[in-house]
Amino acid sequence: QKEVEQDPGPLSVPEGAIVSLNCTYSNSAFQYFMWYRQYSRKGPELLMYTYSSGNKEDGRFTAQVDKSSKYISLFIRDSQPSDSATYLCAMSNNNDMRFGAGTRLTVKP
């Protein structure tokens, strides 16, 4: 079993849809949870950063962490074609950081 599991997709949705992206993990030592967005052949860009269980909202993006279930989610509201990218979850403690495989999202106009 991988430490971080993320469905690679691809995921295709119409413009305006609500997108839900998810990751599960096995290492309960992880304390910090991140979502990165990566456009094709570009460097990953930090999108959301959370420390504790609960929700964090930033514009159209909401990150959700459930440490008891070892499950994190990223919700994108009113999705736009410009959201088309690969989304990578990441989690870390002070000594280790792990990335998910990434979910490729396409938002169709």
* Smaller CB separation from other proteins, 71 or 99: 99
Q: In the bound complex, what is the minimum distance in angstroms from residue 59's beta carbon to other proteins?
A: 18
Nearer to other proteins, 37 or 64 (CB): 37
Q: Residue 11, interface with other proteins (CB under 8 A)?
A: no
Strands of 1-102, DSSP E: 4-6, 11-14, 19-25, 32-38, 45-50, 54-58, 61-66, 71-76, 85-92, 97-99
Whether the link from the prior residue into 10 is cis, omega within 30° of 0, is: yes
Is 40 a binding residue for other proteins by CB under 8 A? The answer is no
The residue from 22, 32, 60, 84 that contacts other proteins (CB under 8 A) is: 32
> Tokens at residue 24, please?
């599960």
